[in-house]
Amino acid sequence: NSLSQQGVLCRRYVTVMSWWEEERYPEGIKWKFLEHKGPVFAPPYEPLPENVKFYYDGKVMKLSTKAEEVATFFAKMLDHEYTTKEIFRKNFFKDWRKEMTSEEKSTITSLSKCDFTHMSQYFKAQTEARKQMSKEEKQKIKEENERLLKEYGYCVMDNHKERIANFKIEPPGLFRGRGNHPKMGMLKRRIMPEDIIINCSKDSKVPPPPPGHKWKEVRHDNKVTWLVSWTENIQGSIKYIMLNPSSRIKGEKDWQKYETARRLKKCVDKIRNQYREDWKSKEMKVRQRAVALYFIDKLALRAGNEKEEGETADTVGCCSLRVEHIKLHPELDGQEYVVEFDFLGKDSIRYYNKVPVEKRVFKNLQLFMENKQPEDDLFDRLNTSILNKHLQDLMEGLTAKVFRTYNASITLQQQLKELTNPDDNIPAKILSYNRANRAVAILCNHQRAPPKTFEKSMMNLQSKIDAKKEQLADARRELKSAKADAKVRRDEKSKNKKKAVQRIEEQLMKLEVQATDREENKQIALSTSKLNYLDPRISVAWCKKWGIPIEKIYNKTQREKFAWAIDMAEEDYEF
DNA sequence: AACGATACTTAGGACGCAGCGA
DNA sequence: TCGCTGCGTCCTAAGTATCGTT
């Protein structure tokens, strides 16, 4: 590959040491040398063939290229429910009209008179054709992707060739936020080289812009980790191209995150005593801070930054909870002082929980809610910045999110201790691991939509189990009769029958374990906690202790991300 | 203290393909 | 061999946190 001399030379000097064995940079400096090939742009728009028609008010209408492109975005989504939503249609139509010629604008005045069905059929046929492609054609595409990855998918950062996480620029399309997003349907515009800021080191070969184009800017800032950035037009926020989780720069940060959480472990008792004291404070702000922190600690809630109204879906975290999001029950189902939470969190995922709390917390909540409307802030004297400033005083580097990391990891460690049965075989031990993982996912409220095929696949599994049970019964009968025979005439037969029974029993157990695991996992996503909250060294140590191959717990990508932990952790590692 | 800009982590869903059993 | 399904990868949205300015 054509990465410059310097990168290649640097790499040659360091061949055996992994990044976690190298010296760390001084605070704030992220790298000394950075070279990359720049981003890959979305393929240009290909106009529709002449025979694919768009109809307005029942009549064929030929669209200008720009208007046609945006129309195809809508046509491709026609089967989705959200193209029927008022906000989506309104936002789309407004942005579409901006792309039209003045004649188009004066003709096309109502979205409901637009007929995209022919276009939609065309795209469906294209998808179908792609599926039907021959092996060779598919192979060709695969090779082209690999070539692109090889050329643009890596950079040189200091002594390492590193994988880039997202080297492709996001293609244009219609924005679809999560949940009830006020901007759904808006046009996400095409990003051009003129929008792009390149970041690399001065002594590197700066990537050339595509012919006939210029970069917006080339800068050399080694206080940041990104290679490329641009401003997106929906929220006006900045998007970045950064490195893969397997890279030094991400791995080191990840390691550091867990080390901070481990420092919290050492002082969490003190902090808990402190906030319990603060529940009694005469200052309202201090009480609110203490109750919020209690929720963050006990329930692993997110911090809850303020959001600009009307810019995003209406979701909340701890500090931004409103009165309408909780209900107080002095008594519920035989328990005292129960708080019922019901709100939409990140990604508009519902958080629903009924939690018994200390009397003091309950009384404080009643106080906070006095004379307030449902839409008022529960913690009106508090925000994340106040909370984090306080946390910083309690421990260096402590912020609200550290509690989630800490509680997730400590829960995994405890659960593994509790659930692992030394006498279990490997599949049963892995079930225990998944259950420990699941406890964390439930704590963090990591949900997923039940797979579309869930019921069906569950039934299939059940019928397999039934078949296996019958098979076992047969085998047992045969064993019995073989034993009866053996009284008269000793032979190998009963031994073999016994083995067969054992084998089938084992197979049955494996299936049953699988069924349990799948049922319990119906609406729970394990991967998010595994990837972001659980100190990988806990899992590595557990695998070493019980002789479980690491591949059973982490797939290839995960092993790459956690290579540092796999290398470092011994079986006696304690979080 | 409020605000806007910036940088970075965390998140669920779509989709495609490998591997498995019929 | 074929069809299904479950897993992994890709995608990019949506959070957290901090900093400088007013």
pLDDT tens column, A304-323? 999 998 899 999 999 999 99
Going by C-alpha positions, the residue among A432, A431, A430, A439 that lies closest to residue A412 is A439
Per-residue pLDDT averaged across A323-352, rounded?
96
Identify the band that residue A12 occupies on the pLDDT scale cut at 50, 70 and 90: very low
Report the protein residue whose CA lies nearest the C1' of nucleotide C18.
A385
The nucleotide closest to A238 (CA, C1' atoms): B6
Identify the band that residue A11 occupies on the pLDDT scale cut at 50, 70 and 90: very low
Quickly give A262 CA vs B13 C1' distance in Å.
33
Q: pLDDT of A509-542, one tens digit each? A: 777 767 776 777 778 888 999 999 999 999 999 9
The nucleotide closest to A197 (CA, C1' atoms): B6
> What pLDDT score was predicted for residue A16?
66
Per mean pLDDT, which range of A46-55, A238-247, A460-469 is the poorest?
Answer: A460-469
More confident residue, A40 or A6: A40
> Among all residues of A, which ones are annotated catalytic?
533
Going by C-alpha positions, the residue among A273, A58, A43 that lies closest to residue A171 is A43
> What pLDDT score was predicted for residue A491?
61
Quickly give A463 CA vs C3 C1' distance in Å.
19
Per-residue pLDDT averaged across A219-243, rounded?
96
Quickly give A463 CA vs C4 C1' distance in Å.
16
The helix (run of H) or strand (run of E) holding residue A238 is strand A238-241
> What pLDDT score was predicted for residue A187?
97
Going by C-alpha positions, the residue among A258, A200, A267, A260 that lies closest to residue A228 is A200
The nucleotide closest to A188 (CA, C1' atoms): C12
Q: pLDDT of A167-215, one tens digit each? A: 999 999 999 999 999 999 999 999 999 999 999 999 999 999 999 999 9
Per-residue pLDDT averaged across A52-61, rounded?
95
Identify the band that residue A2 occupies on the pLDDT scale cut at 50, 70 and 90: very low
Tell me the two tokens of residue A469: 């049970």
Q: Is the pLDDT of residue A382 over 80?
A: yes
Quickly give A555 CA vs C7 C1' distance in Å.
10
DSSP A194: G
Q: Is the pLDDT of residue A127 over 50?
A: yes
Find the distance separating the first CA and the last CA of chain A, reported in whole Å: 42
Quickly give A134 CA vs C5 C1' distance in Å.
22
The nucleotide closest to A451 (CA, C1' atoms): C6
Q: Is the dihedral of CA A530, A533, A536, A538 positive or negative?
A: negative
Q: How far is CA A450 from CA A367, A455, A456, A518, A523, in A?
A: 39, 9, 12, 11, 5
Q: Percentage of residues in chain A with pLDDT exceeding 90? A: 74
Q: pLDDT of A400-447, one tens digit each? A: 999 999 999 999 999 999 999 999 888 889 989 999 999 999 999 988
Chain B bases near protein Cβ (<7 Å): 1-3, 5-14, 16-17, 22
- Where helices occur in A234-345 by DSSP H, the ranges are 248-278, 284-299
Protein residues closer than 7 Å by CB to strand B:
A 30, 127, 130, 138, 141-142, 221, 223-226, 229, 231, 236-238, 240, 242, 250, 253-254, 257, 302, 346-347, 349, 383, 385-386, 401, 404-405, 444-449, 464, 525, 528-529, 532-533
Identify the band that residue A508 occupies on the pLDDT scale cut at 50, 70 and 90: confident
Q: Is the pLDDT of residue A1 over 50?
A: no
> What pLDDT score was predicted for residue A487?
58
Per-residue pLDDT averaged across A157-174, rounded?
94
